[in-house]
Amino acid sequence: MGILKLEDLLDQIPSLCEEVNIEKTGLIIDGAALYYFLYYYSNLKLDQRCGGDYPGFKDEVCNFFKTLQDCEVTPYVFLDGGSGSDKREHLVSHLKKKLEKAKTVAETELGCTVRKRYRPNVLPPLVRDVFIEILKEKDIEFKQCLGEADPEIFSAANQNQCAVLSIDTDFCIYDVHKGFLHLKHFEWKRKKDGKIPAKLYTRSKFCEHFKLDPALMPVFASIAGNDCSRLGKEIFANESSSPGQNDIKRLYGMLTFLSKLKLDSCNDSVKREQALQNAVNHVREIEDRSFKLSIQKYVEPTKTDSELPLWVLQKIERGELTTFVINIVDQKTMILPALVEDFSQPSSYTAAYCIRQYFYGLLTGGQMCTEYDRDREEIKDKRVPSILLSSDDQKQLQLERLHETLDLGNIPDHLKLPVCVTVFWFKRLQHHPKPETVHCLHALLLGFMYHHDSPGKSHWVTWYIFPR
Would 362 be classed as within a structural domain? no
Domain count for the chain: 3
- % of the chain surpassing 70 pLDDT: 84
pLDDT higher than 90, residue 206 = yes
Would 385 be classed as within a structural domain? no
Mean pLDDT confidence for 298-306 = 79
Domain end marker among 286, 321, 356 = 321
Q: Of 83-87, 102-106, 184-188, 259-263, give the lowest mean pLDDT range.
A: 83-87
Would 340 be classed as within a structural domain? no
Would 63 be classed as within a structural domain? yes
178 and 254 fall within a common domain = no
pLDDT higher than 70, residue 87 = no
18 and 160 fall within a common domain = yes
pLDDT tens-digit map of 345-370: 999 999 999 999 999 998 998 899 99
State the pTM of this model.
0.81
Query: SS3 of 335, please?
Result: strand
The CA-CA-CA angle for residues 16, 17, 22, to 5°, reads 165
pLDDT higher than 70, residue 195 = yes
pLDDT tens-digit map of 123-156: 999 999 999 999 999 999 999 998 889 999 999 9
293 and 313 fall within a common domain = no
Mean pLDDT confidence for 383-405 = 77
14 and 93 fall within a common domain = yes
193 and 256 fall within a common domain = no
List the one residue out of 212, 201, 215, 108 whose CA is nearest residue 163: 201
Residue 464: pLDDT band with limits 50, 70, 90:
very low
Instruction: Output the CA torsion 259→264→267→269 (10° steps).
Output: -20
Cα separation, 78 vs 66, in Å, equals: 18
Cα separation, 98 vs 91, in Å, equals: 10
Would 99 be classed as within a structural domain? yes
pLDDT higher than 90, residue 391 = no
Would 347 be classed as within a structural domain? no
101 and 120 fall within a common domain = yes
Q: Of 85-94, 137-146, 181-190, 318-327, give the lowest mean pLDDT range.
A: 85-94
Query: SS3 of 309, please?
Result: coil
pLDDT tens-digit map of 16-69: 999 999 999 999 999 999 999 999 988 778 999 888 999 999 999 999 999 999
**Domain with 142 in it:** 1-202+305-321
The CATH number for 55's domain is 3.40.50.1010
